[in-house]
Amino acid sequence: MRARRISRSIALAGCLLLLGSLTLPRTSEAKTTGQIDTAVNAALARFGQQVKGGAKFIAQSQGVVVFPEVVKAAFLYGQQYGEGALRINGVARSFGYYSFTAKWGASTDVLSKDVIFVFRDAAALRSFELTAGWVVGTNGPVTLIHVGAGDDLSTMRVTAPIAGFVVGSKGLMYDFSLTGAKIGPLNK
């Protein structure tokens, strides 16, 4: 009886792991560079509309890495995945394409959000460009910025070399941690 219960638990755990692995896109489902650029443009437009002074804040930066529509899927254990692009000095073309992955703790949901890293410091941007497997918090400290309703981001004094934003359908999300997320180059 006890052996049967243990084998059922193992089988259930195996099924859950299999289902969890299906949440991330396979190589054949990866976006093209054109699709990524279109999604990045849309994410930057959303950011500028939802965050007062957001467009000006990004325009004053050294560079920005935008991961539009990062999907978080979880059932007990979750993953996040997104593909994005690096823009430098406000130029509307991409200088590189990257993937974003992060593990997530226990929950049961599916969310989509934009994750934006704004490089305020040239040395931090250069370090990011030279690191093939950049990890938030290890290769560079990222300060997650929370802007209150009515506050203008472009007038805030942000001294962090890298500012991070998580933007949902209703604006900035404040209850996320980006620590440990991995960013790596895509072969595009």
Return the HEC string of 119-173.
ECCHHHHHHHHHCCCEEECCCECCEECCCCCCCCHHHCCCCCCEEEEEEECCEEC
- Provide the pLDDT for residue 15: 40
Predicted confidence (pLDDT) at residue 66 exceeds the cutoff of 90 = yes
Predicted confidence (pLDDT) at residue 29 exceeds the cutoff of 70 = no
- Provide the pLDDT for residue 108: 55
User: Is the pTM here over 0.85, yes or no?
Assistant: no
Beta-carbon count within 10 A of 92 CB: 9
Predicted confidence (pLDDT) at residue 24 exceeds the cutoff of 60 = no
Predicted confidence (pLDDT) at residue 137 exceeds the cutoff of 80 = yes
